[in-house]
A and B are shown apart, each in its own frame.
Chain A
Amino acid sequence: MPRGDDENAPTQITDAVSPPDDHAPTQITDAVRLPGSKRTKLGVAVHPDHEPVELDAADHALVARLRALPPEGNEPDWRKLQAAIRARTAPLRAPALWWRNWRWLAPIGALALSATIGVGLGLRDDTPTRTAVVPELLRDASVDHDPRIVSEQSERRDAERAPAMWLDGEPVDVDDIEPEQLDALLQRAVGDELGATFGESLDGATGELRAPDAAELDQIGVLPPADYRWIDSVDDDAAARIESWLARNPS
């Protein structure tokens, strides 16, 4: 009888079986190594470890008798048995690996994720939001403006409008005024203001501010009593124009 291994093949004893236990069906446990004395009691011609043990002729004869035994009981009708098994397994769904039911989830999920990312990127507003800070060039001196507070709406309004200058209570568009006219306007506005503010401090001949004497200094302090806070709100361009005007009109 061809088999993968032969009973006549030498067998090395590397593991011994456990002593005979009860006859009830029990769990098969691992073998333990028996001492040499117990192995001798079993009647096995035991050689030292790693030496083969063979079945003798009588053992092989006994095995042959066992193999010649007919099977126990009466074998059933195999066709009926197959039919019964098929009937019992028919309602059952053919088993499959658990991930097979979800095998479409990965590509669909990846597609949905890509679509979501694409929609999210497409709906993103890339227009930068910048607040245009365009300070007013000049403000009305009679109105107490806080130059630090510049509303976005006023800035936008101011940006849309042409730069305005307030002279003598009237808005003046600097870009629409000739330089000579601007000089006259400035002279009139500043002169009037200076006259109204300083009055006797102006030199009637030159029109310049007269240096205050010691008595006036004691009364009015070092600086003339004029509201020059509007100078803080002047930007660089307006200050440059004022300086150029003052340079052309030193008086």
Chain B
Amino acid sequence: MEGTATLPHVLAAIGATRVTEPLDPTRDLTRDPDRELAEAFRGGDRTAFDTIVRRHQQGVWRIVRRYIKRDADAADVTQQVFVRAFKGLASFRGAASVRSWLYRIAINCALSWIRDHRRETPTEIAEDSLTELPVAPGRIASDQDGVRLRAAIALLPPKQKLVLELRVFDELSFKEVAELAECSENTAKVSFHYAVKKLRDILGGDDASR
């Protein structure tokens, strides 16, 4: 049973404006909508790359932000992701979708940044770890719920965490999740199921019954 409080509804409720170009939810997932843009870019059309940036910068930023807890660093790494994509798009073979390919670059860049900044003090890294949307009266409970949920997600094994986040927060298909998690589609489905079950175990029976 799915809830109606999806992310777009939440954003609309708080009045957030979206400058990015959202993907069409009725898109045919069997066909990559960015393939033509990639071909145009390889043909020398730089504006095609700008379109790709507008389409995917938000998704890339979200993935990077899950690894890097500082907004400024996450934005900088997001720029690095697209600069690397600019250089590598000529050799993009099209085995996966452009979005999957970008998200793979984002994960690798985020992990590289974490590896390079491992020596930083934990306070600097976790400066914004608990900072969510501006807290308003009446939303403390939901923020606390969000904090607990994110804390529970952080306790999941890395693969299940990755699969769960890609599926829930990034709205990827299991096929795309499998491409990023480097496993089969069936394994991705099983990992997702295990992640949900384990999350329920972590949160306890009381949360599951809400």
Contact = CB atoms under 8 A, between A and B. Distances in A.
A17 B71 contact: no
Contacts of B196: 55, 59, 62-63
A34 B189 CA distance: 16
Interface residues of A, number: 64
30 contacts: A2-B25, A7-B192, A11-B190, A12-B186, A15-B184, A15-B186, A15-B187, A28-B158, A28-B183, A30-B182, A30-B183, A31-B184, A42-B194, A42-B198, A55-B196, A59-B200, A61-B3, A61-B208, A67-B169, A69-B149, A70-B133, A72-B62, A72-B66, A74-B71, A75-B61, A76-B71, A79-B19, A85-B57, A95-B89, A96-B90
Contacts of B101: none
A68 B71 contact: no
Given A2-B26, A82-B50, A97 B187 contact: no
Interface in B51-99: 53-54, 57-58, 61-62, 65-67, 69, 71, 74-75, 78-79, 82-83, 86-91
A45 to B, nearest CB: 10
Contacts of A77: 19
Given A72-B65, A86-B50, A61 B210 contact: yes
A35 interface: no
A94 B46 contact: yes
A75 to B, nearest CB: 7
A11 B191 CA distance: 11
Given A43-B197, A89-B49, A4 B175 contact: yes
Given A28-B182, A60-B1, A95-B86, A69 B150 contact: yes
A110 to B, nearest CB: 25
Interface in B102-142: 111, 114, 128, 131-133
A155 B42 CA distance: 75
A121 B63 CA distance: 67
B201 interface: yes
A88 interface: yes
A5 B66 contact: no
A251 B44 CA distance: 107
Given A2-B25, A81-B75, A70 B10 contact: yes
A102 interface: no
The 9 A-B residue pairs whose C-beta atoms are closest, nearest first, are A64-B3, A95-B90, A4-B29, A78-B19, A4-B173, A68-B5, A20-B157, A11-B189, A15-B187
B105 to A, nearest CB: 13
Contacts of A1: 2, 6, 25, 171
B3 A67 contact: yes
Provide the main secondary structure of the chain B interface.
helix
A63 B168 contact: yes
Given A23-B157, A58-B209, A89-B86, A17 B191 contact: yes
Interface of B: 1-3, 5-7, 10, 14, 16, 19-20, 25-26, 29-30, 41-42, 44, 46, 49-50, 53-54, 57-58, 61-62, 65-67, 69, 71, 74-75, 78-79, 82-83, 86-91, 111, 114, 128, 131-133, 145-146, 149-150, 153-155, 157-160, 162, 164, 168-169, 171, 173-175, 181-184, 186-187, 189-194, 196-201, 203, 207-210
B158 A23 contact: yes
Contacts of A58: 200, 208-209
A71 B20 CA distance: 15
